[in-house]
Structure 1
Amino acid sequence: MANHPAAPLLLRQGDREKLQSLVRSTAVRAGLAQRARIVLLAAEGISNTEIAEKVGTTRNTVIAWRARYTEAGIKGLADADRSGRPRQIDHRAIVAASLRPPPKKLGVTHWSSRLLGSRLGIDHTTVAQAWREYGVAPWREGTFKFSTDPQLVAKVVDVVGLYLAPPENAVVLCVDEKSQIQALERTSPSLPMQPGKPAARTHDYIRHGTSTLFAALEIATGHVTAACKPRHRRQEFLAFLKQIARTYPDQQLHLVMDNYATHKTPEVKAWLAENARFRVHFTPTSASWLNLVEVWFSIVERQALHRAEVASVQELNAKIRAFVTGWNDRCHPFVRTKTSTEILRKANRPTTSKTGH
């Protein structure tokens, strides 16, 4: 007897669009997309043999999925539950093990996913999944510093008060120096950025010396008074204070500074005592981050210094001065919005900077 093609498969109402969506989707399992295509082709009256050739399977498989759809609709195309009890892995137990240091006999300082997976008898991808879920990263490490300044509260209130409510008819300046700025010349010319490729430079360089950037940031405007000097001793700092005095003649000046020794030498103290319009406000020890000029220094580093390629300290200083000039043309006020109370809540908590190893 001759084989006759199977009759076209009758689709349930609304299923055609759902099946077409499954076929087009990139998010569903490949097996489910294949079964949906089998059903759609069967609904067009194509023979089981031809469908098997089109989707890359066997005729018996086509017949089986036709029958499953006829019996249960689209739900029948899903994978059947596997026999046996599914394995239960407690991510909390994995994280708890991750928080304990590795045994000394392993000779490592922290867990890797493969090492912990081997220890627990599970796949390393399961360990990595647990770490992502709980935000655990054993390969990262931060640093912290506590401020032990006995005048912590008074100094924070004083400095933050200047930022939030500057005195009338006075200028608030954040003053500091960025030392040991290296004049580096790469051994080969850098490669420019191209579509699909970042800029590139050689890892080796020639060091041509260092420079120190002194800066005074006016918080009301963002304007910066700056000077590049070969060293950062009391002589250079005194010279910079005199430069500030010339820049702001006949004005009351409030200087926010950290506790660097150069800022407190007898010569500096004597000069400040002779110039009564200068009033100094020191940040707490181990809290130089309270000085807003540190924010500006980070901008200089990112935008002007990190990629600078120079053949001399003079060329480095010229680039720094060019940046300062450009900055002052587009500067903006620096505003600290947190109150002293908010800052003090965190002042003696570890402030971490993360690194990966």
Structure 2
Amino acid sequence: MPAIPACPVTLTAAERHRLKKSAYGHKTPHQARIRAQIVLFAARPLPNARIAERTGVHVDTVRTWRGRFAELGLPGLADRKRPGRPASFTALQAAQVKALACQLPAETGAPLSRWTCPELAREVVARGIVGAISASTVRRWLARDALKPWQHRSWIFITDPDFRTKAERVLDLYARTWQGRTLDAGEYVISADEKTSIQARCHPTLAPGQTRAMRVNHTYGRGGALAYLAAYDVHHAKVFGSCEPRTGIDPFMALVAQVMSQEPYASAKRVFWIVDNGSSHRGKKAADRLAAAFPNAVLVHTPVHASWLNQVEIFFSVVQRKVVSPNDFTDLAQVGDRLRAFEARYNATAQPFQWKFTTSDLDDLLARLDRHTADHPEESSVALAA
């Protein structure tokens, strides 16, 4: 049989430049490098057998890529599109599954609190949207749009009509401003609240060892509970704490007296006390009570359901992580001793919290909530009714 003549290859200067970059580039994929080398050798011209020997591939491979370049040029060196397996589901079916995932199960008649991928797969089959589908396919579809209907987080709508005014006062104090005027050096901001029901759960805890985590016993005996009251100097990162059997007006006023009876607060021009709307310090009566006992003290309330604006809550979260959990106290005396010891340890090295939420952020938050309630007026009416 006569030999099959090799396809002639002629390169332009631009094609030669691009092929050389592909043939000798350090980041070029191996297949693209071999194809570029085949075309460069073919342009010399070299026979297919010699090119196969130099590139280490079969002569049929050389013939294939030489022919494709001769016919299509540089685009011919790319892989052709493969048909693959035909799609099992249509785009409409995928959209219907996503739409179902964005509905509450109760609204669709399903006796579930939230969707999971297996439940969604069963539901779409029961509705006749698809004949059969796996939970992994549903999960893959939802992942494309970052949908996770099995997750949830708590949320509460703003019900305080004076939310912005109250929140702005607190945020201004954090920025050392009150009623448009910068605070003097002799004015202080205290954030105070109570951490209730710290229990003494009497059970042993085993120390960690090599390749073994600390072990906390599942069973325990109850040893009672106490409340931890704390006042946090926002700009000086100093904590004043008190352990009490229960919360109430008297324990809170005792905490105030503990702080206000010592310097620099006793002789300060003003000391602002930021508190939430708990029963121990709620409303105008609490403000009058505080002013009567300490004329230089000013009570400032956060909005209703906005304890997250109270910086002492950050300190309480530190206490929860570093002191209370895991709860292995033998009795309430040990609870109090550890809280007081941690308080001294914290004050020795503490720095003020880097509070970044400003009045501008507050305006952005309220604007987003206004847009949301405008789109969902029924949620707004439910919140107001609550």
Instruction: Indicate whether 1:81 and 2:82 are aligned.
Output: yes
Matches within 5 A, 1:144-183: 144-166=155-177, 167-168=183-184, 169-183=186-200
Whole-Å separation in 1 of the counterparts to 2:228 and 2:145: 43
Q: What residue is the counterpart of 1:205 in the other structure?
A: 220
TM-score by length of 2: 0.67
Amino acid at match of 2:237: G
**Structure 1 residues 19 and 135: alpha-carbon distance in aligned structure 2, compared to 1, 3 A threshold:** closer
100-109 or 308-317: bigger deviation: 100-109
Q: What residue is the counterpart of 1:116 in the other structure?
A: 120
C-alpha displacement at 1:308, in angstroms? 3.5
TM-score by length of 1: 0.72
Whole-Å separation in 1 of the counterparts to 2:140 and 2:217: 36
Whole-Å separation in 1 of the counterparts to 2:346 and 2:117: 46
Instruction: Indicate whether 1:95 and 2:98 are aligned.
Output: yes
Whole-Å separation in 2 of the counterparts to 1:202 and 1:181: 18
Whole-Å separation in 2 of the counterparts to 1:345 and 1:294: 23
Q: What residue is the counterpart of 2:279 in the other structure?
A: 261
Instruction: Indicate whether 1:287 and 2:306 are aligned.
Output: yes
Unaligned runs of at least 5 residues, structure 2? 1-21, 32-51, 66-75, 125-129, 178-182, 373-386
Moved over 6 A (4+): 17-22
Matches within 5 A, 1:178-257: 178-186=195-203, 188-192=204-208, 194-195=210-211, 197-247=212-262, 248-251=265-268, 252-257=270-275
Choose the corresponding residue for 1:69, options 61, 77, 86: 61
Which secondary structure does the structure 1 equivalent of 2:267 belong to? Answer: coil
Amino acid at match of 1:81: R
Identify the structure with bigger relative contact order (alpha carbons < 8 Å, sequence gap 6+): 1
**Structure 1 residues 128 and 277: alpha-carbon distance in aligned structure 2, compared to 1, 3 A threshold:** same
Unaligned runs of at least 5 residues, structure 1? 1-12, 23-41, 47-64, 351-357
**Structure 1 residues 319 and 21: alpha-carbon distance in aligned structure 2, compared to 1, 3 A threshold:** farther
**Structure 1 residues 122 and 170: alpha-carbon distance in aligned structure 2, compared to 1, 3 A threshold:** same
* Contact in 1 for aligned 2:290/2:297 (Cα 8 Å): no
* Contact in 2 for aligned 1:111/1:138 (Cα 8 Å): yes
**Structure 1 residues 21 and 326: alpha-carbon distance in aligned structure 2, compared to 1, 3 A threshold:** farther
Whole-Å separation in 2 of the counterparts to 1:234 and 1:219: 23
Whole-Å separation in 2 of the counterparts to 1:232 and 1:201: 29
Q: What residue is the counterpart of 1:107 in the other structure?
A: 111
Which secondary structure does the structure 2 equivalent of 1:279 belong to? Answer: strand
C-alpha displacement at 1:291, in angstroms? 0.7
Equivalences, count? 300
Q: Identity over the aligned pairs, expressed in percent?
A: 22
